[in-house]
A and B are shown apart, each in its own frame.
Chain A
Amino acid sequence: MHRSTPVAEAAKMLARLSLPGLVVIDDDGRPVAVLPCVEILSMAVPQYCQDDPTLARVIDEAAADVFAQQLGDRTLAQAMPGHRWAPATVDGDATALEVAAVMAGANSPVVAIIDGSGKVDGVITLTTLLERVLG
């Protein structure tokens, strides 16, 4: 998805298609970040609740149910501090073991495949990889 996509829209798409994560690209189609679903979720959780999970308990149910509304129109680019998510990528000729190593190293269920010019050429999900490896 392009970096200017609103986080809320990206989250809705992940939920609708049951995807484990997404690849964020820039104007040239190069990967900016590979975001597992849980990272998208954390963008919606107030920072103070992440710093102090106890505070999530004191918030009343009515307010707690609409916590995702605080995302507003924030885009993926605005929600990413930048340095936290080095994109997990592999070349088109990567072996299953290479892909698994990148996934494990980045702790990401999604890996972007990049072509010779550095643009995103496809995506491999954890499910796809496991099906391929385990038969």
Chain B
Amino acid sequence: MNLGKIIAVHSYKGGTGKTLLSVNLAATFVQHGKRVCLMDIDFRAPSLYTLLKMGKVEFWLNDYLNGTCEIDKVLVNLSDRIQSNGKLYVGFANPATEAIREMSSKDRKWEMRALGRLLALRNSILNDNGFDYLIFDTSPGLQYSSINAIVASDLVVVATTFDRSDVDGTKRMLHELYDLFEKKTELVLNKVLNDFSSKAMKEEMQSKIKDIYQVPVLGIVPCFCDVLKAEGGIIFANERKTHPFAKILDEIATKIENNMV
């Protein structure tokens, strides 16, 4: 059996940087020579299709969850976009308004079957095809698709900010969602404005965050103007490897690879 991991990148609020983290984490793993599958599970606001500047896509993750095709039809090989020996395959959510509307109107029975199909990915993606990581980029909050992805995952990476409502909501989700499903949960604090240039400042902040949330901190990401200016169009982990953002992602990926948190 493959020892691959399924990671769900989730958050309480929107705009915390889930997609940016997902894409760059996937790219970093690929640069470490890993076989990575990245999936856009945010069916209400799909973004990977636009972010990765895709042309025609024949099959979507929507089709897989609807049971009209198998997962191998959905995955697009984008390994040539990353300079490394690793592999990157991506499954896209359909960004068409009609598709978003259709996915928003699914009933509980459909969601139950969708959970079954997400759970089946452990066999088809990790065990049968030998992928090292399957990353779900989810929608924020308590959406069906996100909770399905969380249930199917081994590790939940929670992207959060110091925004007060985000702090409160994230704390609630930690106890009322991830804990109930007994999920391993780790935090990435994003868009941090505080100064933590020295090691002591960084350690103080990590301890402060751990006190607030009572879960391990996977990484602290400062608010980088370069990242915001890029408007999601640059995969820093691939195109700007020396940028501090890419370096932090490298640390996060290494921690996950070594089960260090």
Are A and B subunits of one complex? Answer: no
